[in-house]
């Protein structure tokens, strides 16, 4: 698969995530794919399908925007630096994220998604959870901000 075809496959995958098309997003993956996320490791299409359905239910109106290097493809690997935003429990969140992909033929066989969970919690938390998260953030950043 050529570099431009891998980039198109990633953009199609992202489009399916934005559209809530679980089957379309799932078609990006090989049957034995492994997807490592902040929420856990999902192996095989069955587990990945469950994760995609969970994502669709938890994050509404999700949109992805290229950030930094955008999509870079080298051989059978690619990286995607982006920002995603969406509505989580009625609050809009903006999250910087980096994803890596390993392809075999035209399917993704290995995918890692990395984002800052504390930043997500800071934006998405309700009153009591927000207080806890903000307390942790203040403690970790103690002396940093004047």
- Checking if the pLDDT of 54 tops 90, the result is yes
Contact 126, 47 (CB under 8 A): no
The rounded percent of the chain whose pLDDT value lies above 70 is: 95
pLDDT in tens, 55-105: 999 889 999 999 999 999 999 999 999 999 999 878 888 999 999 999 999
pTM for the full model?
0.85
* Predicted local distance difference test score (pLDDT) of residue 126: 66
* Predicted local distance difference test score (pLDDT) of residue 118: 76
Contact 38, 30 (CB under 8 A): no
- Checking if the pLDDT of 124 tops 70, the result is no
Across the beta sheet with 107-115, the strand order is 40-43, 29-37, 107-115, 91-104, 77-88, 60-74
* Predicted local distance difference test score (pLDDT) of residue 61: 94
Say how far apart CA 23 and CA 39 lie, in whole Å. 21
- Checking if the pLDDT of 28 tops 80, the result is yes
Across the chain, mean pLDDT equals: 90
* pLDDT interval class at 125 (50, 70, 90): low
Q: What is the pLDDT averaged over residues 18-40? A: 95
* pLDDT interval class at 143 (50, 70, 90): confident
């Amino acid at each position: 698969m050529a570099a431009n075809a891998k980039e198109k496959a990633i953009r199609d995958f992202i489009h399916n995530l934005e559209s809530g098309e679980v089957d379309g997003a799932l078609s990006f993956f090989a049957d034995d794919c492994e997807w490592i996320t902040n929420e856990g490791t999902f192996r095989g299409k069955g587990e990945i399908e469950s994760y995609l359905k969970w994502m669709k239910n938890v994050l509404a109106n999700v949109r992805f925007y290229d950030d930094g290097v955008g999509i870079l493809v080298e051989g059978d690997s690619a990286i995607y630096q982006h920002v995603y935003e969406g509505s989580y429990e009625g609050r809009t969140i903006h999250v910087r994220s980096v994803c890596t992909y390993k392809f075999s033929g035209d399917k993704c066989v290995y995918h890692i998604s990395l984002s800052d969970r504390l930043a997500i919690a800071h934006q998405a938390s309700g009153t009591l959870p927000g207080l806890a998260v903000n307390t942790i953030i203040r403690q970790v950043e103690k002396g940093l901000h004047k």
